[in-house]
A and B are shown apart, each in its own frame.
Chain A
Amino acid sequence: LNHLDHPHRKHNVCMVSDFFYPNMGGVESHIYQLSQCLIEKGHKVIIVTHAYRNRKGVRYLTNGLKVYYLPLQVMYNQSTATTCFHSLPLLRCIFVRERITIVHSHSSFSAMAHDSLFHAKTMGLHTVFTDHSLFGFADVSSVLTNKLLTVSLCDTNHIICVSFTSKENTVLRAALDPEIVSVIPNAVDPTDFTPDPSQRDDTKITIVVVSRLVYRKGIDLLGGIIPELCLKHPDLYFLIGGEGPKRIVLEEVREKYQLHDRVRLLGALEHRDVRKVLIQGHIFLNTSLTEAFCMAIVEGASCGLQVVSTRVGGIPEVLPEDLITLCEPTVKSLCDGLEMVIAKQRAGNVPPPAAIHNRVRTLYTWRNVAERTEKVYDRVAKEVVLPLDKRLQRLMAHCGPVAGSIFAFVAVLDFLLLLFLSWLVPDYVIDIAVDASGPHGIWKNKHSRKDFKILSDTSFT
């Protein structure tokens, strides 16, 4: 990643993902924070996502970050349905009017991200893809998703993964050349997660868990740990934030062992409330079964907590060894790890929260992420986008005879549809949008903003 020939080159970036605010999660905040830092660096950034209930149309967020909420049908789990074609007219209009040079898609679960990569390549734009999750190889859904990923990524200019484990996983799943895959970890905003030891009760020991209560997060393991440790340590308390289908497991455990006063289930947490919960604890427990890069443990450590986590996926890369206790994803191993940390905590043999915070705060910052992403953009901007014939050859060669032929055919249809659209609505008929961010952005300039008032909360479709 040492391509710094054009340090002043500014890009027009379009982030595409099905997942964006008001939906909450890691991908959403990643896109938002990264966009804000890129705007700060002088690039023009817009975000495209699907409409969330009554939130549709065009909106502006802080610093002129423009968000398009497109009226596309949501199919499953906030991901839109895909037909490979129906989103082309709207996406083309947006790419043209915003003069986009780089399309950056996020998350392999998002159908819209794959669609936009496909259309962007048809339109000859540079493409970048960020993968946020790990997959298996064996079950039917993984096999299908992996095939889709192979097709989607075989002619994408560059891929970004959040950890080395994730990179290895993606390279294997999508049969990619590791050269075009970069690792850029996630970040946390250290000012959001500062320790405050006065908020915690030192007469007891509190273990905090903040995660969605779903199978992937190992909530069944948590259900096994709670009774075992609570029986051994009468001064141990659990504070569990998050909501999900596995909540019932924890409620059953609480009922069965009469632990109502010692296990508190807080339900869904707003992101701003996470710190309030974290600073009440001594130990942060993460029981994930699969994780590409665990933001939660960085947030926990940043609040000065002792972190205990399972040794899965990219977690071992995330924190330095002395700040985290890694265990196997079994109840016994996790209990042993927790016992050890509890013993240390009782002996007062742990570094003070402020010291942990100071070490963690410099590890992962969004500015650093934006800088590294910028280098990827600089590199991608110099590459050539494959013309249609080369792209078809690549698809046929990389994706196997059946899927390759099908998607080559789809790519040709997409190209024909694009030709039809550019005959129906030629590029010169589409108004060039007024830039809100970027080199000619009018947001930062208060005087010119009066000239062109922007109404952000209304739209009609």
Chain B
Amino acid sequence: MSEDKYSDINGNTILLNSCSHSSFCREFTISTPKVSLRKIMAYTCSVWLIAYAVFLITENTTVLSAAIFVTLLGMMLHLHFVKIDHESLLIIGSLGIQMSSSYASGRESTTFIEMGKVKDIVINEAIYMQRVIYYLCILLKDPSDPNGVADVVPLFQSSKPRLSCLDKVYKSCQEIIGQC
């Protein structure tokens, strides 16, 4: 088990925790920093200041209560559906690949792909938000065409690690896929 520091595509530090359970079973977990208090403060303050400005113009107090409501609801939704703290990839040779992501609220979502469907794991390039980035993805076999690719499942979508980190995960995954 080892823990390495890498950075994501925006230059923030992320932690890659790689854990080798056996020679054909490995787990990679990428942890991103927790929601910072400063960020919450900044968003809350800006929403409230805007609401207060609107209140001064309209002199309607519902604006203020709406602002409080919006901030609370926004924070809850953000923690429950957007902010992912850990993303993990569990690869077990001959069995399959499990991807799970745990949200800041504690909610977890897990997907499993059996090995029979996996064609390969590759690093690909994509245009993302006015940038060109590398990402790791699983290629799924097309049942009708033995050489074709039915679908592409991107990995670590939320943490978006840089190439050096992807390369490490990629090489270990290839070792396991190569065995079976």
Q: State whether these chains interact.
A: yes
A429-B7, A429-B9, A431-B162 known; A459-B124 Cβ under 8 A? yes
Q: List A residues 418-433 near B (Cβ within 8 Å).
A: 425-426, 428-433
> When chains A and B are docked, how far (Å) is the Cα of A459 from the Cα of B123?
11
Q: SS class of chain A's interface: helix, strand, loop or mixed? A: loop
Complex partner residue of B154 from A93, A432, A460, CB under 8 angstroms: A460
CB distance from A418 to the nearest CB of B (A): 13
B10 at the interface (CB under 8 A from A): yes
- Scoring B residues 132 to 165 as 1 if CB is less than 8 Å from chain A, else 0, what string do you get? 1110010100000000010010100000001100
| A interface, size bucket | 20 to 34
| Tier of interface size on chain B | 20 to 34
Interface residues of A in 10-50 (CB under 8 A from B): none
Interface residue? B11 (CB, 8 A): yes
Is B34 close to A, CB under 8 A? no
User: Considering only CB atoms, which chain B residue lies closest to A90 in the complex?
Assistant: B130
A441 to B164, CA, bound (A): 18
Contact check, A461 vs B126: say whether CB atoms are below 8 A apart.
Answer: yes
The digit string for A72-99, where 1 denotes a CB below 8 A from any CB of B, is 0000000000000000011001100100
Q: How would you classify the secondary structure of chain B's contact residues: helix, strand, loop or mixed?
A: strand
Within 8 A of A (CB), among B15-59: none
CB–CB B132/A460 < 8 A: no
- With A93-B132, A431-B134 as known contacts, state yes or no: A458 contacts B163, CB within 8 Å: no
A-B contact count (CB 8 A): 71
Whose C-beta in chain B lies nearest to the C-beta of A460? Answer: B126
Chain B residues positioned under 8 Å from A90 (CB to CB): 127, 130-132
Residue of A58, A94, A428, A454 near B126 (CB, 8 A) is: A58
Q: B32 to nearest A CB, angstroms?
A: 16
B134 x A458 contact (CB < 8 A):
no
Residues in chain B near residue A454, CB distance under 8 A = 122, 124
Binary contact readout A88-125 vs B (1 if CB under 8 angstroms, 0 otherwise): 01100110010000000000000000000000000000
Is the pair A458, B10 in contact by a Cβ cutoff of 8 Å? Answer: no
Q: Quick check: B162 and A461 within 8 Å, CB to CB? A: no
Q: How many angstroms between the C-alpha atoms of A154 and B51 in the bound complex?
A: 51
Cβ contacts under 8 Å, B163 to chain A: 431-432
In the complex, how many angstroms separate the beta carbon of B153 from the nearest chain A beta carbon?
A: 11
Please determine whether B122 and A453 come into contact, CB atoms closer than 8 angstroms. yes
Tell whether, in the assembled complex, residue B126 and residue A57 are in contact, meaning their CB atoms are under 8 Å apart: yes
A432 to B132: give the CA distance in the assembly, Å.
Answer: 11
Cross-interface CB contact of B122 among A71, A89, A455, cutoff 8 Å? A455
Q: In the complex, A224 Cα to B10 Cα: how many Å? A: 64
Interface readout for A413-447 with B: 1 if CB under 8 Å, 0 if not? Answer: 00000000000011011111100000000000000
Q: Which residue of A lies closest to B121 (CB)?
A: A453
Beyond A90-B132, A429-B11, is A58–B122 a contact (Cβ under 8 Å)?
no
Do residues A460 and B122 form an inter-chain contact, with CB atoms below 8 A? no
Q: Which residues of A contact B134 (CB under 8 A)?
A: 431
Q: Please indicate which of the listed interface residues B10, B131, B132, B149 has the most CB atoms of chain A within 10 Å of its own CB.
A: B132
Q: Mark B107-135, 1 if CB is under 8 A from A, else 0.
A: 00000000000001011111110111110
Across the interface, name the chain A residue whose C-beta is closest to B149: A458
Q: Does the CB pair B7–A93 fall under 8 Å?
A: no
User: Is the C-beta of A361 less than 8 angstroms from some C-beta in chain B?
Assistant: no
The verdict on A93 contacting B122 (CB below 8 Å), with A455-B139, A457-B149 known, is no
A71 to B133, CA, bound (A): 15
For B127, what are the chain A residues with a Cβ–Cβ distance below 8 Å?
56-58, 68, 70-71, 90, 459, 461
Contact (Cβ within 8 A) A426 B11? yes
Docked complex Cα distance between A97 and B163 (Å):
12
A425 touches B126 (CB 8 A): no
> A429-B7, A455-B149 provided; 18 other pairs, C-beta below 8 A?
A56-B127, A57-B125, A57-B126, A68-B127, A90-B127, A90-B132, A93-B130, A425-B10, A428-B11, A429-B10, A431-B9, A431-B163, A454-B124, A457-B149, A459-B124, A460-B126, A461-B126, A461-B128
Contacts from B to A (Cβ < 8 Å): 7, 9-11, 120, 122-128, 130-134, 137, 139, 149, 152, 154, 162-163
